[in-house]
Chains A and B, each alone.
Chain A
Amino acid sequence: SQKIEQNSEALNIQEGKTATLTCNYTNYSPAYLQWYRQDPGRGPVFLLLIRENEKEKRKERLKVTFDTTLKQSLFHITASQPADSATYLCALDRDGGSQGNLIFGKGTKLSVKP
């Protein structure tokens, strides 16, 4: 069965450091992968999307990589700030289409300490 795993339930880092979150998947060949941010008691907010033919995508202090051989995506936040503290979710489309039917990882809760 299709699985998507975010190995770390929680990640604690010091302000200014780079946070690196991991997303792995099995039994799957997604056309693209997405990352979302979720704050406590709120719905997720879309951050970045990376396609299978893209190695890397950047948006301000965020960087996402996508290795289809390793079946892995890495999500980096450089120069992290306490305001970056949140849960980050990776998501894949379930049926290879573009209908928005996504499967989500459990998320990694990032805490950035001042």
Chain B
Amino acid sequence: GAVVSQHPSWVICKSGTSVKIECRSLDFQATTMFWYRQFPKQSLMLMATSNEGSKATYEQGVEKDKFLINHASLTLSTLTVTSAHPEDSSFYICSARAPSRVISTLHFGNGTRLTVT
């Protein structure tokens, strides 16, 4: 149980275009999802916390107008990278917290490798 599906697994796009990444919890309802980016040999850096039915909470330094997050249902959160630039190339990973657990372990998607040319 507790499977999180992330799509696409990789995407190549041209500079200036937008890319949408989907994160779905397949067998549980996730009131909270998290979006991270990870550079090679670096830690997971939290970008934003996505709460179902409300606005996402962004970490300091993350542009909310560039990284649009929508959490329209208890099983789906999307991250849209708008007007992508080569410096946005990274590994983006989502995770979900199962609400029934007292202490939260996270269930991660398999990530999306974004390359902006």
Taking beta carbons and an 8 Å cutoff, which residues of A are in contact with B? 9, 31-32, 34, 36, 41-46, 49, 51, 89, 93, 98-107
Contacts and interface: CB of A to CB of B under 8 A. Distances in A.
A76 B102 CA distance: 26
**B contact residues, range:** 20 to 34
Interface stretch (B43-51, B69-77, B80-88): B43-51
Interface of B: 4, 6, 32, 34, 41-44, 46, 49, 91, 93, 95, 97, 101-111, 113
Contacts of A51: 103
B34 A101 contact: yes
B43 A43 contact: no
A36 to B, nearest CB: 8
Contacts, number: 61
Contact of B108 (A32, A43, A49): A43
A107 B106 CA distance: 17
B32 A100 contact: yes
Given A32-B103, A104-B44, A43 B49 contact: no
B49 to A, nearest CB: 7
Given A100-B32, A100-B97, A41 B113 contact: yes
Contacts of B104: 93, 98-100
